[in-house]
Structures are given as structure tokens and as C-alpha cells.
Structure 1
Amino acid sequence: MTLAAALIARDVSRLPSRRDEDWRWTDLRGLIRELPPQAPAAPAPDGAGPFGDLGEAELVVVNGRPLGGAQALVLAAGERRTVRLRLVSVSLETAHGTTLAVSLGEGAHLTLLESHEGLAEDYVADIQLKIDLEAEARLDRVVLAQDGALSVAVTQAHVDLAPGARLFQTTLTTGARRQRLETVVRHPGQGAHVQMDGVYLLTGRSHADLTSAVTHAGLDGTTNQLVKGVASGQARGVFQGRITVEPGADRTDARMGHHALILDDRAEVDAKPELLIFADDVACAHGNTVGALDEDALFYARQRGVPEAEARALLTSAFVGEVVDRIADEAVREAVAAWAAARRVG
């Protein structure tokens, strides 16, 4: 059951529901009673996206339609590029879906600056990304997701790594009525590496679901994951992270951490970190914490003349800043930090 299948068949019975274990906190069938009509074609929006003019090229997808028709981004062996991928929704009370392919040849390096831009409300959007990295290729995928507050949006990225390939991913989101950002990685071991980080900044009634699954299938693979979130008002944050170490994937090194702050009594965070280990000689660990702001730190800030609202915002910004600081490219890191600062939760 997927949103993509429901949109293709125009059948709400194909939507995932709370009966599906991996969707129990992001129930779509109980929310969507009737699928809206297909979104019309639309021109590119005026102005730049959140990444400005970083990079050499831009691929814009409006209402599920790639402008210019290109539905694949291909880098030849050894090629290096920085590309902005703008996924824009502009039509009220409509639905759209799209599938995009990203392929990196041997030793290629792509910095993919991906933005989800909700310029309308109450839409349904499904994005499917198929990503393949050949040997020694590197993908730096940075995602800024700001869907419409009343929208339903699902993005699923399926990543296949070859030996020696490296994936560095950072996702930041402000949520939506229902939003799920999912990454599924097939990890071959053999020197391949995954760093997969995330931040959710939620206010009002927004909902964000960061779900990931990494399957280690071979020797000597590494995965490192850090997700941090802040929820205020009546917002709901969901983190589901699963790392599976298959039989024979010895000497796997996998680490996962999720840490969240709840700023209001009616906010909610649901977390389910999982390690499924079927091999020997591995180093795997996960950590999960959910709590409130440090009252002592807040007290000391106020003692130094910082108003309470500003102090809370500064503390939450510092809390999630650890994730942003892990972005390697300085210019990209600064753009992401500015985006997060403009949407800080306090």
C-alpha cells in the first residue's frame, strides 16, 4: 500500500494506514477520504528557491511535471556537479506524483540540493526517487522541505550503493498536515559509507515523519545517522530508523541517534529506532532521547538579560545545529543554517 499506487489507481483503499506497522503514526487512509483531481501543468515559479543560485544547474519539477521533460539526472564516470532540484507544488486541492532517476557513474560526485516548495495549500504530492551510485561515487544530498501546512506529501528515495560508494544526506523539514520523508538504502559493505542525518522543526499542528531503512549486505560497511527534532504547539514528530545487518555482513559499523525536544504539553514525538543484526563481529549501537529544554540553561540565559522567547529559540537552534554542522560544503552549510534560523522553533 503506497500513496503512489493510490494515485495511479485513483483508489483510496491502496493508501497506507495505521494497520501497516511502518505507517502506524502516519495514517493516510484515515485522513484522505477522496483523492483530489490531477494537478494541471504550470510554469516555473518566480524567484529563486531556498538554495539561491548555488551550483551549476537547476532541475525544476512543478506539480509533478519536470520542466523540459527530463526525468533523469545522470553523471558520467568521474564527473562532478552541483545541481538544484526544486519540487514545487502550486495548485490548490489537487494531486500529483512523479518519479525521478539519479545515476552516478564510477567516481562521480554529485551535490544534490533538493527543495520541496509548497506554494499552495491542501494538495497531495508523491515523489519517488531512484538513486544509483556506482563504485567510489559520492552523493551529497541536502533536502529542505517546506510543504503547505494543509498538504499531504510523501517522498521516498531508494538508494543502491556499489562498493566504495558514499552517501551523505541531510534532511530538514517543517512538516505538513501529513508528511513523510523516507530513505531506503541497499548497502553493499565493501568500504561503502552512509551518513544520513535529519532535523524536524515543527509548530502548530504540523506532522513530519522521517523514516529510514539501511540494509547491510556485505563485509566492512559503515553507517552513521543523527536525527534531531523540535516539536511545539500540537505538532507531531515521527522518527523510524531501521538498520539491518544481514548474515555474512561481518565487521559492519553502524550508529544511530535520535534526540528530540518537546516544547508544549500537547506536542508529541514518536520514535522507533531498530537494529536487526544477523552477523557476528559487528559494532552497532543506537540511542534515543525525548525531553524538554534544559531549565537551568534557560534560567542562566534569562539572568543575562535574554528575553525568554529569544532564549528558548536560541537553545533550540543550538540543539539542532549539531546536525547542520555535519554538512561538508561550507556554502551549502551556510544556506541551510540560514533556512533553519528563519524557521526556528522556541
Structure 2
Amino acid sequence: MNSVTPSGNAAAFVHRYAGLAGRLPGASIPEIRKLREAAAETLVAGGLPSRRVEAWRYTDLTPMLRAEFREALTAVDEAVELPAKRAERRAVFVDGRFRADLSDLDGLVAGSLAEVIETVAGRLNSIASASQPMVTLNTLLFEDGLVLEVPEGTDAGRLELLSVASGETASTLHPRHLIRLGRGAQLVLLETALSATGARHLHNPVFEIEVAEEARITHVRVQREAESAYHLAHLGVRVAEGGVYDGFVLNAGGRISRSETHLALNGPNATAHLNGAQLVAEGQLADTTTALDHAAPNCASRQTVKTVLAGRSRGVFQGKILVRREAQKTDGYQMNQALLLSEEAEIDSKPQLEIYADDVKCSHGATAGALDENSLFYLRSRGIPAGEARAMLVRAFLQEAVEIVEDEPAREALEEAVSAWWAQHGEAA
């Protein structure tokens, strides 16, 4: 790496790594050092994605790449105001680093990646695709993350994973979360990303999640960061025989937000739910991209993603379902629906099916439209003010997606985020 001169759109990040390399976790571990050096070389050679890359053709990162981010590794012992707990246990990360003083992991086999990195070095990049540029960037600069093991047959209950960006510096946060459920284990993971008003940072989390035989994880993600922030999340998930990954993501913040999930159903009778919603206001772009790999027979997948767009905003949905030759009896469903509250809003939808098996049941679809004028007229004729009528129709549109979430505290968090978004943007919409 020392003999290479960084250039291109990733140069600032590679320079940052050169200055931080000796202080990053695992710097003395050959395996970690080699992993980071390989990531640096990849970024030097290929850079970060532009719209010339097919998977990023609708999402332009130019505003993020023009931003000036400062070094990470800042002090983390300052006071931080946190929202009320939504679960019996909580893991708190402030500016990308674990805060033991604010967390409660009692009874869980869990802790800070920075503290146990030597024991999990071999698991990094085992699931998340190293060919993904934002994963590569995370590999280069990750400082901490949650390491969680749910032993075989254990019901770990509900855990809240809270990430807070203080907003005091224009920093980059690259947490790396490693989660593994043993055979028959269960977990409800409620993840929330928040930041101070006006915070300008890049939050680039990567999750590597393993779901063993007959295990089940409910993973609800609520992204409510500042509208001046950038949130680019990547999830790599493997599900074994009879396992279930039940996921929901709500993007309701960030100037540019992208939730990218690569999930493989590797064992018979495995199930995946990749549902979500996007709330996009003036000047924002929200992108949900998924790649679902049916690699075993008798597996099922469901995906419903709804997008509400106000003002000059842009929404993106890219969803690919791959059914391999051996994945007979696959049952896959995918639907993307967009509600445009402005003539200046735009939605780009790209559902895909790639099927090599001959005994499958797969369907996909996409719709886009404005509020139904007849429904709006009906509500107005009953004396309901225009703004309240519009709010009722927007909530009804989103309800089908939100009510899929069975966990009550998680569903309440989603409903709270929707209410907060509408309170801020509803009048303009």
C-alpha cells in the first residue's frame, strides 16, 4: 500500500486509512492488517461506485464524495442524550464506537468488536460481499461494532441496537456488526439510527448475520438520521435449513440513504422476509436494493416495499430474486409500490427474477401513482380538513407494510417515525 499513490473518488478515504492504520483495531493482527490492505488496494484500483456502475445507476454519491469528513477515533466519553428504551437490553454506539456505560447486555454473549477482534478475525467478510465497494470501505476503516452470539436453543428476547451520531464533527462511521444465531435460537433486534439536527456525517454500517438451522431473527431497522447526513447500509445474511430472517427497514432520514441486503437461503424450508418503507422529502434520495438467492429447495421469500415521496425527491427500488437450478418448489413474491405526493418526485423501480428451476412459484410487480382523488374527495366531503385527509391516505398506504411487523415495540417505533416524518413534511407535501 505504501508504494501506491491514491487517486480517484476514494482517495480521501484511503489517505485517512494511511493516517489511522496504526490506531485502528486489529492493527497488530496480521489477518486484519492484510484484510485492510487488500481493501485499500481495491479502492485505489476501482474507487467508490458511480452511476456508470449498473447497481448504482440511480443513486448518485457525488454530494457525499464532495463532502469533507474529518478523522474518526474521537473521544467517546461525553454525555449523550438517548431516547427511551424500547427493549430490556440495549447496545449503544456513539459516533461508531461502543459505549459500555450506556449499554445493557446482561445475559447475552455480546460485546464490542474492538475488544474481541482477535477472536473473530476469521469471520470478517465471510458473509458480506467483499466485492461491494461500501463493504470494502467499511473493511478499510471499521473501528467497532456489535459481536453477538445467541447459543443453540436460546430465546434471547429483544435487543435494541442504537446508533447515535453526535454531530459535533463531520465524521465517517463504519461499524461492523457480527451476529450469529445457533440452531433453534431466537432474537428480536430493533435497530435505530439517529443523529443530531444538522449533523453531516457518513454512516456506513455492515452487518454479517448467520441464522442456523431452525433459528429465527426478527430484524427491524429504523433510520432517522439528519437530512444532511449520508446513510449507506449493507446487510449480508445466510439462512440455514428451516431458519427464518424476518426483516423490515424504514428509511426516513439522510440526504442520501441506501439499504442494501444480500441474503442467501442455503437450506431447505428456509424463509426470508425483506419488507420496508421509504419516506423521502425535498432534496432527499432513498434507495432500497436487495439480492435474494434461493439456493435450496422448498424455500419461501416475501418482499413488500412502499415509498412515499414529497417535493423534489427520488426513490429507488432494486430487487433481484435468483432461483438456482436445485431450488425446486421455491415460493417467491416481490412488490414495490410508490406514492408520489408531488409532480416533481421521481421513483425508479427495477424488480428482477432470474429463474433456473422449473418447479417454482414466483411473482413480482411495481406500481406508482398519486393520492386517489376520489378517496380524498370522500374524506373532504365528510368534513375532514385537506391536510388531515391527505395524512389519513398516506398512513393507509403505509399500513399494509408496517402491520407486517409482529413485534409490538418495533411496530410502535415504525409508527412513531412515520408520525414524526409527516409532522415535519406533511404540510409541504
TM-score class normalised by the smaller sequence: over 0.9
Higher strand share: 1
The counterpart of 2:402, out of the listed 319, 324, 337, is 324
Q: Compute the displacement of 1:325 (Å).
A: 0.6
Q: CA RMSD in A?
A: 2.1
CA–CA distance in 2 between the matches of 1:150 and 1:31?
A: 10
**1:59-118: CA deviation from partner (whole Å, max 9, x where unpaired):** 111111122361301111111221000111113322221211011111111100000112
Asked if 1:15 corresponds to 2:44, the answer is no
Asked if 1:65 corresponds to 2:97, the answer is yes
- How many pairs were matched up? 342
**1:10-35: CA deviation from partner (whole Å, max 9, x where unpaired):** 47872111011111111224651355
Asked if 1:248 corresponds to 2:322, the answer is no
Q: Secondary structure at the match of 2:204?
A: strand
Q: What aligned pairs does 1:60-209 form with structure 2 within 5 A after superposition? A: 60-68=92-100, 70-71=112-113, 72-80=147-155, 81-91=157-167, 92-119=169-196, 120-209=198-287
On the 8 A contact 2:285/2:314 being kept in 1, the answer is: yes
- Tell me the residue number matched to 2:76: 42
On the 8 A contact 1:77/1:108 being kept in 2, the answer is: yes
CA–CA distance in 2 between the matches of 1:247 and 1:129?
A: 28
On the 8 A contact 1:160/1:187 being kept in 2, the answer is: yes
**1:160-215: CA deviation from partner (whole Å, max 9, x where unpaired):** 11111101111111132111111110112401001111011111211111111110
CA–CA distance in 1 between the matches of 2:60 and 2:312?
A: 17
Q: Compute the displacement of 1:148 (Å).
A: 1.4
Larger Rg: 2
**1:290-341: CA deviation from partner (whole Å, max 9, x where unpaired):** 1100000001111111111111111001100111111112333233223322
Q: Secondary structure at the match of 1:198?
A: strand
Judging changes above 3 Å, is the alpha-carbon distance between structure 1 residues 255 and 307 closer, same or farther for their aligned structure 2 residues?
same
Worse-matched range after superposition: 29-38 or 120-129: 29-38
On the 8 A contact 1:35/1:95 being kept in 2, the answer is: no
- Tell me the residue number matched to 1:227: 305
On the 8 A contact 2:306/2:338 being kept in 1, the answer is: yes
- Tell me the residue number matched to 2:134: none
CA–CA distance in 2 between the matches of 1:29 and 1:180?
A: 14
CA–CA distance in 2 between the matches of 1:328 and 1:31?
A: 36
On the 8 A contact 1:242/1:274 being kept in 2, the answer is: yes
Between the two proteins, what is the percent identity of the paired residues? 36
Q: Compute the displacement of 1:240 (Å).
A: 0.8
TM-score, normalised by the number of residues in structure 2: 0.76
Residue identity opposite 1:41 in structure 2: A
CA–CA distance in 1 between the matches of 2:270 and 2:172?
A: 37
- Tell me the residue number matched to 1:292: 370
Judging changes above 3 Å, is the alpha-carbon distance between structure 1 residues 30 and 343 closer, same or farther for their aligned structure 2 residues?
closer
Q: Compute the displacement of 1:6 (Å).
A: 7.4
Asked if 1:53 corresponds to 2:85, the answer is yes
Q: Secondary structure at the match of 2:176?
A: strand
Q: Secondary structure at the match of 1:343?
A: helix
Higher helix share: 2
On the 8 A contact 2:92/2:163 being kept in 1, the answer is: yes
On the 8 A contact 2:64/2:230 being kept in 1, the answer is: no
Asked if 1:24 corresponds to 2:24, the answer is no
List gaps (5 residues or longer) in structure 1: none
Worse-matched range after superposition: 289-298 or 31-40: 31-40
CA–CA distance in 1 between the matches of 2:238 and 2:332?
A: 17
CA–CA distance in 2 between the matches of 1:173 and 1:225?
A: 16
CA–CA distance in 2 between the matches of 1:323 and 1:4?
A: 37
CA–CA distance in 2 between the matches of 1:178 and 1:338?
A: 21
On the 8 A contact 1:255/1:284 being kept in 2, the answer is: yes
Runs of at least 4 residues of structure 1 off by over 4 A? 3-6, 8-13
Q: Secondary structure at the match of 1:318?
A: helix
Q: Secondary structure at the match of 1:243?
A: strand
